[in-house]
Amino acid sequence: MNPSLLCLFLLFLLVFHPCLSTSSSSSSSSSQLFEAWCKQYGKSYSSTQEKLYRLSVFEKNLAFITQHNDLGNSSYTLSLNSFSDLPHHEFKASRLGFSPTFLRLNRKPDPKPSVVRGVPSSIDWRKKGAVTNVKDQGSCGACWSFSATGAIEGINKIVTGSLISLSEQELIDCDRVYPNSGCNGGLMDDAFQFIIDNNGVDTEEDYPYRGVDSTCNKKKLNRHVVTIDGYTDVPANDEEQLLQAVATQPVSVGIAGSGMEFQFYSKGIFAGPCSTSLDHAVLIVGYGSENGEDYWIIKNSWGKNWGMSGYMHMLRDHSNPKGVCGIHMLASYPTKTGENPPLPPPSPPPGPTKCDFFSKCGVGETCCCGKTFLGICISWRCCELTSAVCCKDRRHCCPHDYPICDSERNFCLQANGNLTMKANESRGSLGKSSRWKVACFLNCYASQNSATEESEEAALRSPAPQSQFSGIHNVFRNVAVPAEPAALIRKCSQTKTTSNKGSS
Q: What residues does 474 pair with on adjacent strands?
A: 396
Which of 132, 151, 149 has the alpha carbon at shortest distance from 234?
151
Q: How far is CA 136 from CA 26, 89, 158, 407, in A?
A: 34, 19, 24, 30
Choose among 233, 243, 237: nearest CA to 296: 243
Tell whether omega for the bond before 403 is within 30 degrees of 0, i.e. cis. no
What is the distance between the alpha carbons of residues 50 and 85, in angstroms, rounded to a whole number? 11
Q: Are 149 and 281 in contact (CB under 8 A)?
A: no
- CA 355/CA 381 separation, integer angstroms: 9
463 vs 202: CA distance, rounded Å: 38
| Strands annotated E in 104-259 | 123-124, 230-234, 251-255
Show the DSSP H helices in 357-431 as ranges. none
Contact call for residues 366 and 177 (beta carbons, < 8 A): no
Please state whether beta strands 404-406 and 411-413 pair in parallel, antiparallel, or not at all (unpaired). Answer: antiparallel
Strands 396-398 and 473-474: antiparallel
Q: 3-state SS of 296-337? A: EEEECCECCCCCECCEEEEECCCCCCCCHHHCCCCEEEEECC
Give the active site residues: 143, 280, 300
Report the alpha-carbon angle 494-496-497, nearest 5: 65
What are the φ and ψ backbone dihedral angles of 244, each rounded to 5 degrees? -65, -35
Q: In degrees rounded to 5, what are phi and psi of residue 332?
A: -155, 165
Find all residues with CB under 8 Å of 428, minimum gap 6, and list them. 384, 434, 438
3-state secondary structure of 147: helix
What residue type is 202 in one-letter code?
D
What count of Cα atoms within 13 Å lies in the side-chain half-sphere of residue 46? Answer: 20
